[in-house]
Amino acid sequence: MSNKFILCINPGSTSTKTAIFENNKLLFEGKFKHSASDLAQFKSIADQYIMRLGVITGFLEKTNFPWSKLSAIASVGGLLKPIQCGTYLVNRKMINDLKNGEYGEHASNLGAILAFDLASKENLPAYIVDPVVVDEMQIEARFSGHPAIERRSYFHALNQKAVAKRFAMERCIPYEQLNLIIAHLGGGISVGAHKAGKVIDVNNALDGDGPFSPERSGGLPSGDLMRLCFSGRFTENEIKNMITGRGGLIAYLGTNDGIEVLKRIEQNDPQAILVFKAMAYQVAKEIGAMAAVLEGKVDAVILTGGLAAERKYLVPWITKAVEFIAEVVVMAGEDEMLALCEGALRALNGDEEALIYE
């Protein structure tokens, strides 16, 4: 089987990540930060297209990697309609939904568009892998308490699925035979109940459901939130930012930087200690809820994401609270670029059929 060269791209809210893999071996990577002032010149996310395109083509020029050697381009998926997990071939229907913001706007929407345009010029396939809209929730999990609102599945599907599969491989047990609780600890936090290869329940990390995080407020008391919305003190956009961009650590401590929070904890800042401990408490509580979803039959609790690398406070606090449920395994980091590469390779090598977005 010949070697495959995959270009992976991940446009985020404040950065554009790029990487080139030979099979699953990383050859080159780049992470390009976009400051608030850089992004302020654009009226919409769609307007950032030329800037993001320049970052990707500039990365390839800098590495001197020839386009002719690429086998495929893989990108994070954006806000699409709810779909099953897997690797999807980017098509016109997907592009139209993303360009029109049919299901919402996010920087990740640009990923498939950029991958498709770049791949088309070189006659290459373009893929997205396990986008945030992967929906495998069981029917009971969709009930919110009122028929006007249905619980939705928005979570770190790419990393959660990749971590679950790596754990299964390490233990030599098929993913489909495991019950796992996976907590992705990052700018947003999602906690999923994985049962027999499907995420049957998970908090909506995009809209701020579940534990509060560095940037999200989490599940706020509905009555108080309602009164805040109608108080006349805030616009709709301000409320939205309060929930999904300026909540959690940044609201309590004025920063979403975990390193800065840890410095303050080391200096015995009582507020920093209390807030960080409260975040761990809420994560542990969500893990406990997912244990109930799995009826107590849990093979492992896995902590992943960038914040899972913090082994002095957050991870020990969570572990102490939930280790009675099952073994707690830490698989820190996101490895989203590798997960994209692995998804594309499965499709290219025929190990998994690429799905069609309809």
Residue pair 322/284 in contact by the 8 Å Cβ criterion: yes
pLDDT in tens, the chain (358 residues): 589 999 999 998 778 999 999 998 999 999 888 776 777 788 888 899 999 999 999 999 999 999 899 999 999 999 999 999 999 999 999 999 999 988 988 888 999 999 999 999 889 999 999 999 999 999 999 999 999 999 999 999 999 999 999 999 999 999 999 999 999 998 889 999 999 999 999 999 888 799 999 989 999 999 999 999 999 999 998 998 899 878 999 999 998 888 889 999 999 999 999 999 999 999 999 999 999 999 999 999 999 998 999 889 999 999 999 999 999 999 998 788 999 999 999 999 999 999 999 9
Question: Coil, strand, or helix at residue 306?
Answer: helix
* Strand bridging mode 179-185 / 300-305: parallel
pLDDT of residue 212: 95
Residue pair 357/80 in contact by the 8 Å Cβ criterion: yes
* Tokens 């780049």 sit on residue: 30
* Strand bridging mode 355-356 / 87-89: parallel
Q: Is the CA virtual torsion 92, 94, 96, 99 positive or negative? A: negative
β-bridge partners, 137: none
* Token pair belonging to 202: 């998970």
Gap between the Cα atoms of 99 and 49, Å rounded: 11
Residue pair 322/182 in contact by the 8 Å Cβ criterion: no
β-bridge partners, 22: 5, 25
β-bridge partners, 31: 17
Gap between the Cα atoms of 355 and 163, Å rounded: 21
pLDDT of residue 42: 87
- Per-residue three-class SS string for 48-113: HHHHHHHHHHHHHHHHCCCHHHCCEEEECCCCCCCECCCEEECCHHHHHHHHCCCCCCCCCHHHHH
* Tokens 């010949």 sit on residue: 2
- Per-residue three-class SS string for 165-180: HHHHHHCCCCHHHCEE
Residue pair 23/345 in contact by the 8 Å Cβ criterion: yes
The C-alpha R_g of the chain, in whole angstroms, comes to 20
* Token pair belonging to 9: 């791209």
Q: Which amino acid is at 46?
A: A
Please report the domains of the chain, with CATH numbers, ordered by start residue: 5-134+337-356 (3.30.420.40), 157-332 (3.30.420.40)
pLDDT of residue 342: 93
Give the containing element (helix H, strand E) for 97: helix 92-99
pTM for the predicted model, two decimal places: 0.89
pLDDT of residue 13: 75
Question: Coil, strand, or helix at residue 83?
Answer: strand
By C-alpha distance, which of 51, 59, 69, 71 is closest to 126? 71
Residue pair 332/305 in contact by the 8 Å Cβ criterion: yes
